[in-house]
Amino acid sequence: MYLTPVIVSEHLGKKTLTGTMSLKDIASQIQHGSISVNPDAQRSLGADQTQTTKYLLSTNEIGKSKRMQSFCNFMNRILRNIQNGKVDEGFLGCIQLIVDENNEGLTLKIVEPEKDEKLSHSVALLFESMGKVQQLAVMKADPGFGKEYAQIGDGQGRSVGFYHWYNSFLNQKAALQKLIQKKEKKAEDTGNEQLLLNQLLSLEPLLNEVFDHTRVSFMIYAKNVDENGNVQGLGIDAQRRLYIEGNALNSQASTEQIMKYENYSPIILDLIDIRSEIEWMAPKFIEEDAKSIGKSSVKVFTLSAVAKAHCWAICNHDKPIEKVSDEMIVDVEDRTTFVRNFWKKIDSIFGEIWIEHDDDKKDRTAYLKDMRDNKRCVLFQNIFLQALGQTCYRLGRHAGWDKEYDFAILDKLSPSKVNYNAFDEDCDQWNSIWTDALMKANQSGGFAFNNVTDSITKTRNKLVELLELAQSEQSAEEQASFEFE
């Protein structure tokens, strides 16, 4: 059970509980899981996003996280600075938490002076200054063994970091003590180890004091507080939104994370529905947690590339979140059927190539390496996917976004009719169609993919050319877009 004073306030229709926790309190609650990280609302601290932060903690793998190693190094420096009287570093900010809608372990006892109680001047002044919408309360967190009362929205690295920092200090001390004991039995010199141990022992009282006395501000978001003081929580969408607003909007999360948890953009919401119908768009084949595809990855495209391609297809720009507007909502409603049918046709043409060997990771990794590194196949480039989105927009304008449009014209893009490999190993030759469109020459005399907007436009123009979509069949506005984009 955890008790602490808080100020209860109103916050854009929600309730907030504001207070401070000691580092000891935070570390203890991380250790026991009473505050935790919802893996469905934000990314893990590990490099492998399939390994949740909870898993990393339970298996003691958290120390392998580069972020944790960096945090511990930072805090060690802060500790030495404090020992030497320097306090111009170390500003830990505020941790933002959110109460889950299934919470049953968080309650408030509102502190109210009795009407017939005579208060001292200072206490009376305190209650008078609280204003209309603030209340002083004692927060009681008693979620039950192994359960959490709040999820971390912003401050995961710091919260888990405090726990790991103290734990790693104790582990380092224990390891040195064991090593010294082992060497002493063998009558070996322990001078270096004893020096390191003495340094740790000299810091340990200060470390304990820091954990006991240092307090970090927290803000807990909740939906409401009922008349009995029970705190009502918020759902998964709110938890994701807190992560986005607390992290992504200050560039601490990747574009992929914003796309993954966005709930307001009509483009993203429409894409979510479409992804459930098209196999290669499923999470199994799309990188949702990083901004690039790793060499050993079995994914085809990044989530941001898919979202941008879908936005190009409907709105003719690649800002599905930044340019949300009433016009975008109307465009999605009017054009989604046409665009959805376009992607389904694309799936019938390229889908098998994109999901080849999906049942065997070893074979798939080798296959993707051959397609990307040896053949330089443009079908596996985010640029190509976005060019397809732009091509869809051109077709949509040409067809008036006809919901019954026959996409047979796209058969002209079939791999049986078009060579999408930019390099032929057998002939040691480059395919000028693609080197001109989306590549640039390198110093070794070959070519490398050029990930710029101009490459998307040139690739789109090549696809439109392959479709033989005559300029005369396009509107004047459409022709101008080809000339000036």
Q: pLDDT tens digit string along 331-375?
A: 999 999 999 999 999 999 999 999 999 889 899 999 999 999 999
Q: What is the pLDDT of residue 77?
A: 87
Higher pLDDT, 445 or 379: 379
Is the pLDDT reported for residue 481 higher than 60? no
Q: What is the pLDDT of residue 291?
A: 80
Residue 136, beta-bridge partner list: 7
Q: Which residue has the tokens 């990771």?
A: 361
The rounded distance, in Å, linking the Cα atoms of 9 and 142 is: 21
DSSP 49: T
pTM metric for this prediction: 0.66
Q: What is the pLDDT of residue 129?
A: 87
Q: What is the pLDDT of residue 256?
A: 66
The rounded distance, in Å, linking the Cα atoms of 415 and 401 is: 26
What are the φ and ψ backbone dihedral angles of 27, each rounded to 5 degrees?
-60, -40
388-411 average pLDDT score: 96
- From the CB of residue 267, how many other CB atoms can be counted at a distance below 10 Å? 26
The alpha helices in 316-443, defined as continuous H runs, are 326-354, 361-369, 382-399, 432-438
The rounded distance, in Å, linking the Cα atoms of 76 and 203 is: 10
Backbone torsion region of residue 470, taken as left when φ is above 0, otherwise alpha when ψ lies between -120 and 50, otherwise beta: beta
321 and 315 in contact (C-beta within 8 Å)? no
pLDDT in tens, 294-318: 888 899 999 999 999 999 999 999 9
- The candidate with the shortest Cα–Cα distance to 404, out of 348, 342, 343, is 342
The burial class, CB within 10 Å (0-12 / 13-18 / 19+), for 188 is exposed
The rounded distance, in Å, linking the Cα atoms of 334 and 282 is: 24
pLDDT in tens, 186-233: 999 999 999 999 989 999 999 999 999 999 999 999 999 999 999 999
The rounded distance, in Å, linking the Cα atoms of 429 and 420 is: 13
DSSP string, 135-189: EEEEEEE---TT--SEEEEE-HHHHHHHHHHHHHHHHHHHHHHHHHHHHHHTT--
Give residue 425's pLDDT band: very low, low, confident or very high (50, 70, 90). Answer: confident
Strand duo 301-302 + 286-287: pairing: parallel
Q: Which residue has the tokens 């916050």?
A: 11
Is the pLDDT reported for residue 478 higher than 50? no
pLDDT in tens, 232-245: 999 999 998 898 88
At 344, which amino acid appears? K
- Number of alpha helices (DSSP H) and beta strands (DSSP E) in the chain: 16, 16
348 and 411 in contact (C-beta within 8 Å)? no
Is the pLDDT reported for residue 411 higher than 60? yes
425-435 average pLDDT score: 91
The alpha helices in 439-475, defined as continuous H runs, are 453-467
Q: What is the pLDDT of residue 263?
A: 67
Give residue 387's pLDDT band: very low, low, confident or very high (50, 70, 90). Answer: very high
Q: Map residue 255 onto helix, strand or coil.
A: helix
Is the pLDDT reported for residue 248 higher than 70? no
Q: What is the pLDDT of residue 145?
A: 84
The rounded distance, in Å, linking the Cα atoms of 72 and 61 is: 15
Q: Which residue has the tokens 């123009």?
A: 461
Q: What is the pLDDT of residue 262?
A: 67
Residue 23, beta-bridge partner list: none
Backbone torsion region of residue 155, taken as left when φ is above 0, otherwise alpha when ψ lies between -120 and 50, otherwise beta: left
Structure tokens at 234: 């918020």
Q: What is the pLDDT of residue 477?
A: 41
Q: What is the pLDDT of residue 259?
A: 66
Residue-averaged pLDDT of the chain: 89
The rounded distance, in Å, linking the Cα atoms of 229 and 107 is: 5
Give residue 381's pLDDT band: very low, low, confident or very high (50, 70, 90). Answer: very high
Which of these ranges, 56-70, 146-160, 258-272, 367-381, has the smallest mean pLDDT?
Answer: 258-272
Give residue 427's pLDDT band: very low, low, confident or very high (50, 70, 90). Answer: confident
The alpha helices in 234-325, defined as continuous H runs, are 236-246, 255-261, 266-275, 303-315
134-163 average pLDDT score: 92
Is the pLDDT reported for residue 151 higher than 80? yes
Give the H or E element holding residue 199. helix 191-213
Percent of the chain with pLDDT over 90: 66
19 and 5 in contact (C-beta within 8 Å)? yes
